[in-house]
Chains A and B, each alone.
Chain A
Amino acid sequence: MIALHVPGDSVLHRAPAGIKLLALFVLALAVSLYPHDLPSLGAAVGVVVALHLAALLPPTTLPKQLWQTKWIVVVMVATQLAFLTPWDALVNTVRVVSIVLLAGLLTLTTRSEDLLEALETGLRPLTRIGVDPRRVGLTLSLAIAMLPVVAGIAARVRDTERARGVRLGPRLVVPVLVLALRHADDVADALTARGVD
């Protein structure tokens, strides 16, 4: 789920990206470690809703974000019900969905370049062991930007499939992969041409 930045002037929008990243880390840790009881679950959901309200985003944003987690919910509930009690499955799913929604809120209220700058600053100490923070930041940006491109490639292949009256089924992945790799070549050329290789 990639929630792109929605411009705004709320406290959350104005807060420094580094602080928000740190807060997400702390909240994610707290949500992961809270006790398995109803008040804790209520508190997690309350924090998610309160922060979304504080961000002054359009009212449909949270329901949309929640809807986008549907497959996470389905997969988590289905797999956990096989091994755990329904209550444990519910607790774990609420935990993960809360963290995903908080991460989504971070990207909704923070320009990705500010986020990457904060990440690059945070990774700077790792330069001593050979990590290039700028390269890590660029890689993450590219990954975010390429998701809709790959989705577009898949849609194009599906259209071609329909137009030609064939059903590739799981084999659909082959042309998608070939086109995605070709696009990767083009991106490499563009990086070189733009002097950011």
Chain B
Amino acid sequence: MSDAREIALEEVTVRLDGRSILEGVTVRLDARRIAVVGANGSGKSTFARLLNGLATPTSGTVRVHGVDVGREPRRARAEVGFVFTNPDAQVLMPTVAEDVRLSLRGSGMARAELDARVAEVLADYGLTSHADAPVYSLSGGQKQLLALASVLVRRPRLVVADEPTTLLDLGNAQRIGRILLDELDAQLVLVTHDLELAQRCDIALRFHEGRLVAVGEPAEVVDAYRREYA
């Protein structure tokens, strides 16, 4: 990956079963914290999924930090972490520590180094005492923390989070928001319905019916979005 912290979409269109999901999206972004807002079905999740190759453009190109995601999806995924809305869909292993270790599978790290990295991440997110616990015994907030830990243990350069606080209570939502916005070193693309969180980002994008309709100062983009439903 190049050093440039740039996400670049060039005339990206996504169609599914003849239906347009995204239409002609062109944008270049190098801000550290990027908020993505819009109504359900507006195309914002598809935009997020394009960034690590979970969705494929019907036409156009997606480049993340210099890598063409369509041509080199594995290389892109190695650098782009993805946090899903529902941690139940993201947490894949029977116990907490195993799930974090899964992310380092095939990394070539020595066992001692791998153990240390897993222990460090579990401690960072307050999960050390749950290391050997079955994942189904965790609360929703703890599961989302685990999902985040499993992404961040790979030290991605870009984290894409698709409505990561939607299913959480206020306390857990605030904690996840704080980690993503204040503690993360990586670049962040945050798809969210939480407009307070969106306003704390450096730039905001708004999608409407598959089109990118606004890019700019979060406060302005969010205000315009609110006015539309006032």
Report which A residues bind B (CB closer than 8 A).
4-5, 7, 111-113, 134, 138, 141-142, 144-145, 148-149, 152, 183, 186-187, 189-196
Contact call B89/A195, Cβ cutoff below 8 A: no
Contact call A4/B95, Cβ cutoff below 8 A: yes
A145 vs B89: C-alpha distance in the bound complex, in angstroms? 11
| Nearest CB in chain A to that of B73: its residue | A192
| Nearest CB in chain B to that of A4: its residue | B134
10 A-B residue pairs with CB within 8 Å? A5-B95, A111-B95, A145-B93, A149-B136, A183-B88, A190-B84, A190-B92, A194-B103, A194-B151, A196-B102
| Residue numbers in A under 8 Å from B74 (CB-CB) | 195
Question: B94 at the A/B interface (Cβ < 8 Å)?
Answer: yes
Chain B positions 147 through 160: 1 when the CB is less than 8 Å from some CB of chain A, otherwise 0:
00011001000000
Smallest CB separation, B135 vs chain A (Å): 7
| Nearest CB in chain A to that of B77: its residue | A195
| Residue numbers in B under 8 Å from A142 (CB-CB) | 92-93
Contact call B93/A111, Cβ cutoff below 8 A: no
Contact call B54/A145, Cβ cutoff below 8 A: no
Q: Give residues 63-117 of B contacting A (CB, 8 Å).
A: 74, 77-78, 81-82, 84, 86, 88-95, 97-98, 101-103, 105-106
Question: B177 at the A/B interface (Cβ < 8 Å)?
Answer: no
Contact call A183/B89, Cβ cutoff below 8 A: yes
| Residue numbers in B under 8 Å from A141 (CB-CB) | 92-94, 98, 102
Which of these, A148, A186, A189, A195, contacts B134 with CB under 8 Å?
Answer: A148
From B53, B94, B95, residue with most partner A Cβ within 10 Å = B94
Contact call A148/B136, Cβ cutoff below 8 A: yes
Contact call B106/A196, Cβ cutoff below 8 A: yes
New contact pairs (12) apart from A111-B95, A189-B84, CB-CB < 8 Å: A111-B98, A112-B98, A145-B93, A186-B84, A186-B89, A189-B89, A190-B84, A190-B90, A193-B82, A194-B77, A195-B77, A196-B102
Smallest CB separation, B25 vs chain A (Å): 21
| Residue numbers in B under 8 Å from A145 (CB-CB) | 91-94, 135
A144 vs B97: C-alpha distance in the bound complex, in angstroms? 15
Contact call A187/B94, Cβ cutoff below 8 A: no
A80 vs B94: C-alpha distance in the bound complex, in angstroms? 35
| Residue numbers in A under 8 Å from B89 (CB-CB) | 183, 186-187, 189-190
| Nearest CB in chain B to that of A116: its residue | B98
Question: B187 at the A/B interface (Cβ < 8 Å)?
Answer: no
| Residue numbers in B under 8 Å from A186 (CB-CB) | 84, 86, 89-90
A186 vs B85: C-alpha distance in the bound complex, in angstroms? 11
